[in-house]
Amino acid sequence: MSSTEITPASPPASQPVSVAAANALSVASWLVPGLGYLLLRKWIRGALIAVSIFAMFLLGLGMQGQLFAVNGKNLLDILGWIGDLCNGLPYMIARMAGGGAGNLYTVTGDYGSMFLVASGLLNLLAAADVRDVALGRKP
């Protein structure tokens, strides 16, 4: 007779990790976009997130978008800074290199600024999703 052992059609889901490890993966994913997924062996998802965020960030810089700095005078500047900061290391490296001065007198400069903020918010969502995946809440 045949073996009674059943082989699954797809590999079993990864085992959930501790809350501290999930938080560490989330921080790693915030610092380097896509890294958390790659550490969880979600290769395609990690590559898609990394390419999307880096492409949006570089397009924003290429369109002469402004990277916001800490400014307590204007609420919109504060929100823009938070969105930019969510990019993690790409934001920090670009600020230290002197990039992101922006040219808001051109249409592309304004769109570039929005690309930079949107890439940061996408990175924040991805970092939160990495935590959920690591805790076993999502596949």
Q: Is residue 28 part of a domain?
A: yes
Q: How many independent structural domains does the chain possess?
A: 1
The pLDDT tens digits of the residues spanning 63-121 come to 999 999 887 788 888 999 999 999 999 999 999 999 888 887 888 998 999 999 999 99
Q: Is residue 78 part of a domain?
A: yes
- Give the domain extent around 33: 19-134
Assess contact for 104 and 110: CB atoms under 8 A: yes
User: pTM, whole model, 2 decimals?
Assistant: 0.85
Q: What is the pLDDT of residue 4?
A: 61
Q: Which two tokens stand for residue 95?
A: 């600020």
Q: Is residue 116 part of a domain?
A: yes
Q: Is residue 100 part of a domain?
A: yes
Q: Is residue 86 part of a domain?
A: yes
Q: Is residue 9 part of a domain?
A: no
Q: Is residue 38 part of a domain?
A: yes
Query: Which of 12-16, 23-27, 90-94 comes out lowest in average pLDDT?
Result: 12-16
